[in-house]
Amino acid sequence: MTALHQEVYGHGDPVVMLHGWAMHTGVWRDFAQLLAAEHQVICLDLPGHGLSTSIAPYTLDAVVNAIYKQLPEQGVALVGWSLGGNIALRLAEKYPQCVKSLLLIATNPHFLETDSWPGMSPQLVQEFASNLQKNCMQTLMRFLSLQVQGKPDTKSSLKQIKRAMQECALPEAEALMGGLNVLKTIDQRKTLSNLNKPVLMILGELDTLVPESVGRQCQLLSPQIDLKIIPGAGHIPFITDQKRLLTLMQEFMLRNSS
């Protein structure tokens, strides 16, 4: 069994949080502690990230199975950011009894752009992957810095990002490439359309990775999706727009607590 590092805060109905690609729980620890005022919040490091050991082969289902083994017995509100949202979608599909509701932050069920679907350019993804292989830390820091530029508290946000990035070693190579491969090949539009769970989708108006138009396309697939766009936010609203994000999540979980 793969042991996944976890951090647990607060008491109450359980909320499980899954971070994004190449990150770890430290990147949203401050936000998780705010959320823990009314819930028990469980933050998991994905396999091969942070303090979690890796798995081989590194596939979406293998990651989902490792997370499933550490979920509480009662159903949880499952929060996924970016790649973590794609993992959360698959987990809710494969183990529906474990998930009460789904909260997707900056998540695209089909990450790459096509003629009929908004997303990230395949060429840009490939360029990003190449830069990562040359200088992983520098590339990640540059990317995250772009997501907070122009915000009123840019210095504070950058400080929080740098602290998190320096806290743990970089993810293992197989985890980085495995996660990137998931993003490059994922198509969960049918999963989202068929999902019989309350879903909150939160996107940033200025997100350069997951454009807000993704939300409107997802609502065409599944009209019951509760879509919220945070004005002026980018890809990491749990750092740049904590209060607004916290309110949206708390209101959704209160409505779907039964």
**What is the set of active-site residues?**
82, 207, 235
CA distances from 59 to 13, 52, 127, 181 (A): 30, 16, 22, 9
Interatomic CA distance for residues 224 and 196, integer angstroms = 10
Task: Report the candidate in 105, 86, 83 with the shortest Cα–Cα distance to residue 233.
Answer: 105
Identify residue 128 by its one-letter amino acid code.
F
Cβ contacts of residue 200 below 8 Å, gap of 6+? 101, 102, 103, 104, 225, 226, 228, 248, 249, 252
H or E element, residue 35: helix 29-35
SS3 213: helix
Long-range CB contacts for residues 112-120, cutoff 8 Å, separation at least 24: 112/183, 112/184, 117/189, 117/217, 118/211, 118/213, 118/214, 118/217, 119/210, 119/211, 119/214, 120/209, 120/210
Interatomic CA distance for residues 151 and 157, integer angstroms = 9
